[in-house]
Amino acid sequence: MVYLVGAGPGDIGLLTVKGLKCIQKAEAVIYDFHLNAQILNYISADAELIYAGKRGGHHTMTQDEINSAIVEKAGEGKIVCRLKGGDPFVFGRGGEEAQVLAKAGIPFEIVPGVSSSVAAPAYAGIPLTHRLYSSSFAVIPGYEDTTKDESAIDWARLATGVGTLVFLMAVKNIDLLTGKLIENGRSPDTPVAVVRWGTRPDQKTIVGTLKDIADIVKEKDIRPPAVMVVGEVVRLRDELKWYEEKPMFGHRILVTREHSGGFEELEDLGAEVIQFPTVEIVPPETWAELDRAIDKIEGYDWLIFTSANGVKYFFKRLFERGRDIRELGRIRVCAIGSKTEAEVNKFGIRVDLVPEEFRAEGLIKAFIKEAGKGATEADSLKGMKFLLPRAEVAREVFPDEVRRMGGEIDVPVAYRAVKPEVHGKRLRRFLKEGRVTVATFTSAATFHNFKEIMGEDADALLNDVAIAVIGPVTAKAIEKAGLRVAIMPETATVEAMVEEIKKWAMNK
């Protein structure tokens, strides 16, 4: 099966639900340049990715090569997704690709996408139709050579016969296009808008008239990709523009952890969240340490979780060993942070202790307080046994303090944070072009892996970016590299960091 999927114009929220489902089940994905790269994060890690290029006239693959690749992968028995920016059938080659599949007897489906022809004007506050201004619209390719003897466009009828005209890929030919419209009877004073990078944080909209828009485009250095809208509906922009009015419009937030949950509020405020995980959570190389702890689980007084990942991997292994939560009967549970507590609650277990401070030092204070006034600090945990399933690489502050205070503690590895096999070519370009405003790091590992992926000039790429961290340990790792941390919350949670990012952006 082949799915010809329209990925929409840029805002990842405009990807359709059906398009997302096709992407997720695809075993081979052939994709173009002009789509939001974040969509690729939804593709299965086992799927084959084939980059078809097509950027500014430079094609990585010819159309014939793309057609052959689609047929070849389908011939291998794979579910294939041909992923295209915008809509497959609106000035794309989707129709030709579907014809090739039909001739080859390969079953296919078309999944329409939101076209930039309607999305870019909408995000600029320009309705293509409005009962007081226009009752019709036409979408025209702006790249056709208007000087050729026989044009596919009936300029005489188009210029005055349609209320709103939308030209795609029009910037290079804008002088000729506007000239043709005026020459064929459209008023030189007709309002015109040009929208560059519509639906994206760097969307830019300029407004003029048919007689002067070409000069304004040159003056403002507007380059492709851009959509041109011609018609009286452009007058509504001042009243209806909404996207560019959002408080965080223009901001791109880089998220370097594996999942971006917690950052949705920034998207609601107009920012774009770029997911570029620099850590991948995987099981330990051996379960031996954790298995030994699980086999004597009844002997512990406290079970401590410092992350949601620790919770997930501990219980996963507990159940794989044929045990269940009833065997935790007398054990008290401590969780660092509300997210970790919520993860424990999913298993029907109530958390007995949540430290006020979300790091090792806060955990120590909490247990000293829990021990009561009857003992000195040196022996306040004497006789107590702790189990702390944790990451392979972790600070030893808490285990060392437990032992110093007379307690016993086992710290088996429950999971590892490893560097994923990714390349940062597109992110590097965004950073170099100043298109990322905030980079977030939720651990020292996310920062160190980012540096390794980006290469020797990683620090330079962050020079003009506001760095946000989740807490002082991460901040210390970044400052050690000679970079400045601009945003750090008092409480070490993603939610608190998001609040600080909002405050920073509002004051810019």
CB 320 within 8 A of CB 291: no
Q: What is the CATH number of domain 283-415?
A: 3.40.50.10090
Indicate the class that CATH gives domain 2-114: alpha beta
Report the alpha-carbon distance of residue 171 to residue 174 in Å, rounded: 5
Phi then psi for 233, rounded to 5 degrees?
Answer: -65, -20
Whether 283-415 and 118-241 are alike in CATH topology: the answer is: no
CB 34 within 8 A of CB 139: no
State the DSSP H helix or E strand holding residue 283, giving kind and residue range, or none if neither: none
DSSP state of 77: T
pLDDT in tens, the chain (508 residues): 999 999 999 999 999 999 999 999 999 999 988 888 889 889 988 899 999 876 555 567 899 999 999 999 999 999 999 999 999 999 989 999 999 999 999 999 999 999 999 999 999 999 999 999 999 999 999 987 655 667 788 999 999 999 999 999 999 999 999 999 999 999 999 999 999 999 999 999 999 999 999 999 999 999 999 999 999 999 999 999 999 999 999 999 999 987 667 899 999 999 999 999 999 899 999 999 999 999 999 999 999 998 899 999 999 999 999 999 998 988 999 998 888 999 999 999 999 988 876 566 667 777 777 765 444 455 677 888 999 999 998 888 888 888 888 889 999 999 998 888 777 888 898 899 999 999 999 989 899 999 999 988 899 999 999 999 998 989 999 999 999 999 999 988 889 999 999 999 988 7
Q: What is the CATH number of domain 252-279+419-506?
A: 3.40.50.10090
Q: Residue ranges of the alpha helices (H) in 184-246?
A: 213-219, 237-240
Residue 139: which of 122, 111, 105, 162 has the closest Cα?
162
3-state secondary structure string, 419-465?
CCCCCCHHHHHHHHCCCCCEEEECCHHHHHHHHHHHCCCHHHHCCCC
Hey, how many other C-beta atoms are within 10 angstroms of the C-beta on 183? 12
Q: Residue ranges of the domains in the chain? A: 2-114, 118-241, 252-279+419-506, 283-415
Superfamily assignment of 118-241 in CATH?
Tetrapyrrole methylase, C-terminal domain (3.30.950.10)
Q: Cis omega (within 30 of 0) on the bond before 112?
A: no
| Secondary structure class of 342 (helix, strand, coil) | helix
| Enzyme catalytic residues | 32, 54, 169
Report the alpha-carbon distance of residue 185 to residue 159 in Å, rounded: 6
Q: Residue ranges of the alpha helices (H) in 126-255?
A: 155-161, 174-183, 213-219, 237-240
